[in-house]
Amino acid sequence: MVTVRKRTLKVLTLLVLFIFLTSFFLNYSHTTVATTWFPKQMVVELSENFKKFMKYAHRPCTCARCVGQQRVSSWFDERFNRSMQPLLTAQNALLEEDTYSWWLRLQREKQPNNLNDTIKELFQVVPGNVDPLLEKKSGGCRRCAVVGNSGNLRESWYGPQIDGHDFVLRMNKAPTAGFEADVGSKTTHHLVYPESFRELGENVSMVLVPFKTTDLEWVVSATTTGTISHTYVPVPAKIKVKKNKILIYHPAFIKYVFDNWLQGHGRYPSTGILSVIFSLHICDEVNLYGFGADSKGNWHHYWENNPSAGAFRKTGVHDGDFESNVTATLASINKIRIFKGR
């Protein structure tokens, strides 16, 4: 009996190994089948395939649930594109023609300067390679808090919970000083555009979201000569943020959020939804704070005392309802968690 079992086990093991190897070759090789099985060549091809395999294999993530995991929800898989790069670098800066013309229309900029020249200038000032912090470490579980600016954070006492995350992303004018108990004090990344800029803490990475060519020129200007002080409103001529702490949100990623996630709703995505989708790509676990209205239905910022200050929601530029539906759906399939505050 024992030997029979042992033999069955052996056969099974071999079978599993065979299936694994076959599927490995079928998935990761388009050439092996046709070529001769010459040992030396096989070794070379095996190592090539192994390299390919490592490149495409899912980055290991040790969270109980990993946000980028596919085949959990077809709704998610239809929208999420792992290959999209969230940040602009010197290597991926060339925009496709339709992306560029879409992006140019966002702010109806008159006579923009040449984008190639602007980007070249930009990367002479800010680093052209990706923030090492953003490259996922192999293994581990990167937990991110995306903190919106809703009044529902008031008296939420979320501060310590928010600060407990590896990354804390904030956006636009959001202050922390004076609101630490509710919103926390830690920030690793702050998403802004020139008109929404606020001075940031020493070690905070500024993620500039460019909606027009001038925004990229402003980064250069604001960290050097200070010549740009006005876009469609006054903007800070000089900023204290260190050049090596500046990252640029990729214009093609803005279009990806608009096309894949918002399915063309609104004129273009808000900083809020841009932060959420950004985090899906750089984090393993995503928790949202300060999104949506407060319990009384008011849409104001947590640092404002005017509960009716929700006019920004009705500007027609962003489709707030559709964006909320996207985050609510992400939560309903357990990709993210939304902490609703008060």
Ligand X SMILES: *[C@@H]1O[C@H](CO)[C@@H](O)[C@H](O)[C@H]1NC(C)=O
> Which C-beta is closer to ligand X: that of 25 or that of 179?
179
C-alpha–C-alpha distance, residues 341 and 330, integer Å: 18
> Which C-beta is closer to ligand X: that of 281 or that of 301?
281
C-alpha–C-alpha distance, residues 247 and 275, integer Å: 13
Tokens 């946000």 map to which residue?
67
- Using CB under 6 A, count the residues that bind ligand X: 15
Question: Nearest distance from residue 310's CB to ligand X, in Å?
Answer: 20
Q: Does 84 bind ligand X (CB under 6 A)?
A: yes
What does the block give as tokens for 122?
């930009």
Question: Nearest distance from residue 268's CB to ligand X, in Å?
Answer: 18
Q: Interacting stretch for ligand X, rule CB under 6 A, among 112-120, 143-151, 171-179, 284-292?
A: 112-120
CB count in 10 Å sphere of residue 258: 22
Q: Does 115 bind ligand X (CB under 6 A)?
A: yes
Question: DSSP assignment of 23-41, as one string?
Answer: HHHHHH-SSTTTS---HHH
Convert 313-340 to b/e letters by CB count within 10 Å (16 or more is b): eeeeebbbebbbebbebbeeeebbebbe
Sole binder of ligand X in the list 8, 124, 203, 306 (CB under 6 A): 203
What does the block give as tokens for 30?
């388009």
C-alpha–C-alpha distance, residues 112 and 323, integer Å: 29
Q: In whole angstroms, how far apart are CA 151 and each of 22, 146, 219?
A: 56, 15, 30
Question: Nearest distance from residue 75's CB to ligand X, in Å?
Answer: 10
Q: Does 263 bind ligand X (CB under 6 A)?
A: no
Sole binder of ligand X in the list 36, 55, 71, 83 (CB under 6 A): 83
Question: Nearest distance from residue 95's CB to ligand X, in Å?
Answer: 7
Q: Kindly write out the interface string for residues 272-311 of this chain, putting x where it contacts ligand X by CB under 6 A and - elsewhere.
A: ----------------------------------------
Tokens 């020493």 map to which residue?
202
- Residues numbered 307-336 forming contacts with ligand X, rule: CB under 6 A: 325, 328-329, 332
Question: Nearest distance from residue 313's CB to ligand X, in Å?
Answer: 17
Residue 222: closest CA among 243, 201, 247: 243
Tokens 């095996």 map to which residue?
46
Q: In whole angstroms, how far apart are CA 316 and each of 133, 251, 323, 334?
A: 35, 21, 13, 30
| Known active-site residue 250 | no
Query: Per the residue annotation, which of 165, 189, 281, 318 is the catalytic one?
Result: 318
> Which C-beta is closer to ligand X: that of 93 or that of 235?
93
| Known active-site residue 268 | yes
The answer to whether 283 touches 167, Cβ cutoff 8 Å, is yes
Query: Per the residue annotation, which of 158, 249, 268, 302 is the catalytic one?
Result: 268
Residue 334: closest CA among 261, 285, 283: 285
C-alpha–C-alpha distance, residues 79 and 264, integer Å: 13
> Which C-beta is closer to ligand X: that of 30 or that of 97?
97
Q: Interacting stretch for ligand X, rule CB under 6 A, among 5-13, 153-161, 175-183, 197-205?
A: 197-205
Sole binder of ligand X in the list 91, 116, 124, 306 (CB under 6 A): 116
Sole binder of ligand X in the list 98, 110, 202, 296 (CB under 6 A): 202
C-alpha–C-alpha distance, residues 316 and 323, integer Å: 13
Question: Nearest distance from residue 97's CB to ligand X, in Å?
Answer: 7
Annotated binding site for substrate: 107, 149, 172, 232, 268, 272, 292, 301, 318
- Please identify every residue annotated as catalytic: 268, 318
**Site residues for ligand X per CB under 6 A:** 81, 83-84, 94, 100, 114-116, 201-203, 325, 328-329, 332
